[in-house]
């Protein structure tokens, strides 16, 4: 591209940056109109489209000194692709809005675009369009679109007696956040997990195929997000703490910071693992591990750990 990647977005101007960015977005065969028109057009199956939108703002959702542009691109994409995964769908496309300070380097914008496109293409999705505008802080809006191959799994279908299961790792990003917030950069494994989540793509459609009754992606904290299933389904959920994996890097961070490492698993967000409920007796594949049950009795909407109300349940909530 003719764009000067040593310059700023403000120097290059909207159209030059848009051209340079969109030229990096490879379009899949399912895209009939990609970036550059008033809107994009993408194929869907089964007569429905699954759609989700998230807004991410500098210093609230990410920090430019903690994460590279590539990391932020990966994470912005992953967070939204995960929402499609959590419905049991397969993501096919992303739309991306970028609000950029004029002094942002074009190199940052291009690396952000590359991160976004790489995360999308790893699941077969294309970045089909978006918007670029000026903003005081880096502001990112992402819409993910997806198709439904095995039925939609909502939050509201959990039944008493169901088993509760988890796919993907949980607590890693929170441990990474904890060390970054204290000015450290290691253990690298958890810092990397904060910078780039690895949602268990594919486990969502798999759960749909297995007959999952409810599902959610854990973005704000395991107990809080299980609470969303419990509330939407009017059931009580009990988690067995001995089933939760507290990996070695989480124990190392807990020991170094004087924090109970299980708390990362119970209340940490940003890993985008999946929590789902399945009918009792469902034979779970290796990607899913049982972590609790939907109680036969109990306060609807409640989540307990080993039968007791946990001391700390709250995950992330904005304005709090």
**Residues in region 197-256 near a copy of itself by CB under 8 A:** 215-217, 232
Binding residue for a copy of itself, selected from 21, 72, 78, 84, defined by CB under 8 A? 84
For residues 77 and 191, which CB has a smaller minimum distance to a copy of itself in the complex? 77
Binding residue for a copy of itself, selected from 57, 64, 257, 262, defined by CB under 8 A? 57
What is the rounded CA–CA span in Å between residue 8 and residue 268?
36
Residue 93, SS3 per DSSP: strand
For residues 99 and 187, which CB has a smaller minimum distance to a copy of itself in the complex? 99
Minimum distance, C-beta of residue 81 to a copy of itself, in the bound complex (Å): 10
Tokens of 275: 């929590």
What is the rounded CA–CA span in Å between residue 43 and residue 36?
17
Element housing 291 (H / E): strand 288-294
- Contact stretch for a copy of itself (CB under 8 A) within 146-154, 164-172, 237-245, 307-315: 146-154
Binding residue for a copy of itself, selected from 155, 169, 195, 198, defined by CB under 8 A? 155
Our finding on whether 51 is near a copy of itself (CB under 8 A) is: yes
For residue 87, what are the contacts with CB-CB under 8 A and spacing of at least 6? 50, 146, 148, 152, 153, 154, 204, 215
- For a copy of itself (CB under 8 A), the number of binding residues is 74
Residue 181 has phi, psi (to 5 degrees) of -65, -25
What is the rounded CA–CA span in Å between residue 213 and residue 278?
6
Our finding on whether 297 is near a copy of itself (CB under 8 A) is: no
Element housing 77 (H / E): helix 69-85
- Contact stretch for a copy of itself (CB under 8 A) within 31-39, 111-119, 256-264, 296-304: 31-39
CB atoms within 10 A of CB 152: 14
**Interface map 256-285 toward a copy of itself (x if CB under 8 A):** ------------------------------
Q: Which of residues 111-130 bind a copy of itself (CB under 8 A)?
A: 128-130
What is the rounded CA–CA span in Å between residue 110 and residue 274?
30
Binding residue for a copy of itself, selected from 1, 26, 53, 314, defined by CB under 8 A? 53
Minimum distance, C-beta of residue 12 to a copy of itself, in the bound complex (Å): 8
Tokens of 224: 């809080």
Residue 314, SS3 per DSSP: coil
What is the rounded CA–CA span in Å between residue 14 and residue 120?
23
Element housing 264 (H / E): helix 261-267
- Contact stretch for a copy of itself (CB under 8 A) within 42-50, 70-78, 172-180, 258-266: 42-50
Our finding on whether 149 is near a copy of itself (CB under 8 A) is: no
């Amino acid at each position: 591209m003719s764009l000067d990647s040593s310059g700023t977005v403000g120097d290059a101007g909207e159209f030059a940056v848009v051209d340079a960015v969109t030229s990096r977005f490879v379009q899949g065969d399912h895209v009939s109109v990609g970036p550059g028109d008033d809107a994009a057009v993408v194929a869907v199956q089964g007569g429905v489209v699954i759609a989700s939108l998230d807004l991410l703002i500098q210093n609230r959702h990410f920090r430019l000194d903690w994460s590279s542009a590539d990391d932020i691109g990966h994470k912005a994409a992953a967070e939204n692709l995960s929402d499609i995964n959590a419905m049991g769908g397969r993501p096919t496309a992303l739309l991306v809005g970028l609000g950029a300070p004029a002094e942002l380097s074009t190199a940052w914008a291009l690396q952000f675009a590359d991160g976004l496109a790489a995360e999308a293409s790893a699941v077969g999705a294309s970045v089909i369009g978006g918007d670029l505008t000026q903003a005081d802080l880096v502001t990112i809006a992402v819409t993910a679109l997806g198709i439904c191959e095995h039925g939609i799994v909502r939050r509201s279908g959990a039944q008493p007696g169901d088993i509760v299961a988890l796919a993907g790792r949980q607590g890693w990003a929170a441990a990474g956040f904890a060390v970054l917030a204290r000015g450290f950069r290691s253990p690298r494994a958890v810092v990397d997990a904060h910078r780039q989540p690895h949602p268990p793509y594919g486990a969502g459609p798999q759960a749909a195929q297995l007959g999952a009754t409810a599902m959610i992606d854990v973005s704000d904290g395991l107990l809080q997000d299980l609470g969303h299933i419990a509330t939407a389904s009017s059931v009580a959920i009990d988690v067995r703490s001995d089933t939760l994996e507290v990996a070695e890097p989480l124990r190392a961070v807990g020991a170094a910071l004087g924090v109970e490492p299980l708390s990362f698993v119970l209340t940490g967000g940003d890993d985008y693992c999946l929590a789902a409920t399945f009918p009792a007796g469902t034979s779970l594949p290796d990607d899913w591990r049982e972590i609790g049950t939907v109680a036969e009795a109990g306060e609807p909407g409640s989540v307990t750990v080993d039968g007791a109300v946990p001391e700390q349940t709250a995950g992330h909530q904005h304005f709090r």
